[in-house]
Every structure is written in C-alpha cells, then in structure tokens.
Amino acid sequence: MTIVILSQGNCGLSRCTGRYLVSMAVVDLLVIIFCVILNYLGSFHFPVSFLNHYYVCSLNSIMNAAVVDSSVWLTVAFTFDRFVAVCCPKWKVRYCTERTAVWVILTICTVSYLRNIPRYFTYEPDHSRGPFPLCRLRNLCTKTPWATYLWSATVFTPLIPYASILLLNALTVRHILVASRIRKGFRGRSHHGNGGDPEMENRRRSIILLFAISGNFIVLWMTRVVDFVFQEMLLNLSSMRLVTDIGEMLMYLSSCTNTCIYTLTQAKFREAMRRMITHPIIHCLKFLRG
C-alpha cells in the first residue's frame, strides 16, 4: 500500500515547488506592470505619448500577451507538478526535481514569447492623430491566416489551461479522498483512532496551496472563458462589451491575488520578500554610517 507524503521527498513544498512559486510571482508582477500600468492606465491617461508610438505599442503587445501566457501556463505546470506528486509516486522521483522545474519554467516562458511574435505585425502606423505615428490595429478579420492565429491564441490561452487545471484538480481530489479513506481505516485498526496524523496535516497544507492558486485562476478567469465561448465558439456576435471588460479586469486581478496567496501561505516566500526589501536598506545604512 502506497501512501503519498507531500511534504517530504523530491517534491515537497521546498525547492521544487519554490521554483514555481518564485517564477509565478515574477511573471504576475510583469503582468501588472506591462498589462495594467503601461497598457491600460498609461494609454488611458496619456493617449498621445511614447507608449502609443507604433514601435513601442507593437512591442508592448508582444509583452502583454507573452506575460499572460506565461502566467497561465506556469499555473498549469504547478498544478501538474502537484498532481504528479500526489497521484503518480513512480513519476515523482524523476519529474518532481528542481532541475525539471527550472527547465519547465524556461520552456514555458520561451515558447510564450516566441509564439506571440506575430502580434507585432497585427498593428500598423497611424499618422493622422498625433505628431508621430500612433498604433492602430490592422483589419485582419477577413484574412483567414491571421483570423485563425488570433482565434487559436485564445484557445491556447486560456481554454486549454482552464480545462487542464479543472481535470488535474478533479483527479487530485479523487486520489486524495480515496487515499485518505484507506489511511483512516488503516490507522483506525492500528491505533484505534487515537492520536493525530502528521502525514494528513502535511498533505492538507500542501493541498491548500494547490487549490488556493488553481482555484483563484478558475474563478477569476471564468468570465473571460465564458465570454470567449459565447462570442467566438458559439458565433454569438451580439455586443457583450461590458462582459468582455469585466472578464479582462478579473483576468488581471488574478495576477494581483496570486501574490497575496504566496504571501499568506508560504513562510519561505514571506522571508524571501522581507530579505529583498530590507537588504538594500541595510546596505544604505551601512554606507551612510561610513
């Protein structure tokens, strides 16, 4: 009988999981910087600025899509990592390692940026509205290759990740419930139900982190997914601008709340953030003291 212990072995909540958490935190911060601050707030408050220059805007569109893709697929990678650790003990030794986590993170980020390079050519310069060429979206709806690319980009993010996270979480929950019933029965016969179960506590803490991150993604991306399904896949062309705006707002809110989740659930993450903030201050004080 195999009982999975999440807090021990190669893929406990240590370096392996820590690699994913750190990378997700960095990417979520980039989402806030590029998508929210530079794109939405900057373009809204400064409609004629260097942010709206044709070249800057085109490059920024690549960054916006790439960091969102990276954030979404890193969430999938983290969910799959936890799924392997819980449900596949034979794979855990090989897959749940710090080296594998680093390669998965690098692959996801690289593919996300390369896949979004064609977005640069979806814009064209507009010389009629300002002192320099502003950014204007090309009319690509009638061109089948571009329409297919843009449509597949939305299927790639977030439909496939959304379905993958739901499936992986369902399989993980099912495995946990079965293993917990077996373990409770085993402990009941061995110890007559007396005493605590440290393994169950370790498992509970690990699963709380998994469901907090993936559940946050599922809830906050739901409006965006439903909006795409109704407007694109079901060919409902009626105006749903309000739903689209709400979906995008919740989509970017997901990146903000993820950082709060890391802070609330991970003591090592809080300690790393504290060192990152206090380290330059301490060096400055030492410099001033001479």
Task: Indicate whether 122 pLDDT > 80.
Answer: yes
CATH code of the domain covering residue 207: 1.20.1070.10
Opening angle at CA 20, ends 14 and 155, nearest 5: 150
Following DSSP, what letter does each residue of 59-115 receive, concatenated?
HHHHHHHHHHHHHHHHHHHHHHHHHHHHH-HHHHHHHSSHHHHHHHHHHHHHHHHHH
Asked, for residue 4, whether it belongs to a domain, the answer is no
Q: Which segment, 32-36, 54-58, 63-67, is predicted with the most confidence on average?
A: 63-67
Task: For the chain, give the mean pLDDT.
Answer: 78
Which range marks the domain in which residue 115 is found? 15-284
How does residue 279 score in pLDDT terms, banded at 50, 70 and 90? confident
Q: Which segment, 7-21, 155-169, 174-188, 267-281, is predicted with the most confidence on average?
A: 155-169
Asked, for residue 20, whether it belongs to a domain, the answer is yes
Whole-angstrom distance, CA of residue 271 vs CA of residue 78? 21
pTM: 0.80
| Number of domain units in the chain | 1
- For range 207-215, the mean pLDDT: 79
pLDDT for residue 73 = 94
Residue type, 222: M
Asked, for residue 5, whether it belongs to a domain, the answer is no
The CA R_g of the chain, rounded to the nearest whole Å, is: 23
Task: Indicate whether 28 pLDDT > 60.
Answer: yes
Rounded to a whole number, what is the distance in angstroms from the first to the last CA of the chain? 63
Residues pairing with 288 in the sheet:
none
Asked, for residue 275, whether it belongs to a domain, the answer is yes
- For range 194-213, the mean pLDDT: 69
Asked, for residue 118, whether it belongs to a domain, the answer is yes
Asked, for residue 3, whether it belongs to a domain, the answer is no
- For range 81-87, the mean pLDDT: 85
Task: Indicate whether 9 pLDDT > 50.
Answer: no
> What six digits make up the tokens of 220?
């906050």
Asked, for residue 170, whether it belongs to a domain, the answer is yes
Q: Are 95 and 84 within 8 A, CB to CB?
A: yes
Q: Are 19 and 96 within 8 A, CB to CB?
A: no
Asked, for residue 1, whether it belongs to a domain, the answer is no
